Amino acid sequence: MSEIDLDLISSVAVTAGSVIMDIYGRDFEVDFKSDKSPLTEADSQANAVIMDALSTHYPQIPIISEENKEVAYAERSEWEQFWLVDPLDGTKEFIKKNGEFTVNIALIKKGFPVAGIVYRPVERISYSAELGSGAFKTLIGGETKRIRNDRHYLDEEKVSVVASRSHLTPEVADFVEGLKESGKKVDLISVGSSLKLCLVAEGSANVYPRFGPTMEWDTGAAHAVVLESGRNVINHETGESLIYNKPSLLNPWFIVE
């Protein structure tokens, strides 16, 4: 996909991550949005960095970001492609200072994630993918390696289930219990933000059931990484891949498998 420069997008995510880390290292105030979700100056400042860069380098591609005013479906339904951004995914983890937060930048084309960057500022690790080019894990300033996960969780005797640190639901507990009843040994891994999807992509976990609310910007970038790793993000109801730019930006329940 010659129309975008993935290295450029990676550098934008790293720059946003630097802004986030400057705030992470000091005291900061926490506000709350109308839906009671937390908001910090790190969310806002990282968003400004990303918006400025994408608008400058790709003025023809519109942007949906968690921290921007929502665009009406009547307008965005006409878009063939757009950037999907979560400038600070895992704000609760940021506030707790446990390091499990990311910068997410995805390119969505006709409802499908065709490129994605997931950057973890604390570890300076980036997950990246572009349609047809593979998925990669990079230590910024260091090694880049291709990641792939060729094994489905149902083929494993021992299953590592990754779950949300902040949103473990009874339905996920039931999913885990079902695996145990089928004779599988289960390890439960708890982690925040879109890192959960990336753990499946790199093979550190076998499956991620998300039976609770998420938004499209929570999954778009990591979904691109998962796809290029050989796995997928499956709508729990339909059994098909998650789609993007729906009338509602709320995701259905899904399984990364």
Q: Mind spelling out the 3-state secondary structure of 103-156?
A: EEEEEEECCEEEEEEEEECCCCEEEEEECCCEEEEEECCCCEEEECCCCCHHHC
Cα distance between residue 205 and residue 256, in whole Å: 10
Do 17 and 128 reside in the same domain of the chain? Answer: yes
Alpha helices in the chain (DSSP H): 6-24, 41-57, 73-76, 91-96, 170-181, 195-202, 216-229
What digits encode the pLDDT tens for the residues 227-236?
999 999 999 9
The answer to whether residue 224 is domain-embedded is: yes
User: Which residues form the domain of 175?
Assistant: 153-256
Model confidence at 147: pLDDT above 80: yes
98-130: pLDDT as tens digits: 999 999 999 999 999 999 999 999 999 999 999
Residue 73: per-residue pLDDT: 98
Residues 136 and 10 in one domain: yes
Distance CA 37, CA 44 (A): 14
- Compute the average pLDDT of residues 177-197: 95
Count other Cβ atoms within 10 Å, centred on residue 30: 12
* Interatomic CA distance for residues 125 and 143, integer angstroms: 10
The whole-model pTM stands at 0.96
Number of domains in the chain: 2
Q: Helices 6-24 & 41-57, crossing angle to 10 degrees?
A: 160
Local confidence band at 36 (pLDDT 50, 70, 90 cut-offs): confident
Pick from 198, 15, 208: nearest CA to 116 = 198
* One domain for residues 241 and 198: yes
1 within a domain of the structure (yes/no): no
Q: Based on the domain organization, do 165 and 240 belong to the same domain?
A: yes
Q: Is residue 153 predicted with pLDDT exceeding 80? A: yes
User: For residue 16, what is the domain's CATH number?
Assistant: 3.30.540.10
Average pLDDT, the chain: 96
Residue 205 pLDDT: 97
- Are 166 and 247 members of one domain? yes
What is the model's pLDDT at position 166? 67
213 pLDDT higher than 50: yes
Strand partners of residue 105: 85, 117
Name the residue among 136, 175, 160, 123 with its Cα closest to residue 14: 123
**Based on the domain organization, do 164 and 124 belong to the same domain?**
no
Q: Of 185, 184, 188, 186, give the one whose Cα is nearest residue 165.
A: 188
Average confidence (pLDDT) over 133-157: 96
Nearest partner of 95 among 53, 158, 41, judged by Cα: 41
Q: Judge whether 56 lies within some domain.
A: yes
* 1: pLDDT strictly greater than 50: no
Among 82, 116, 147, give the residue marking a domain's end.
147
CATH code where residue 209 lies? 3.40.190.80
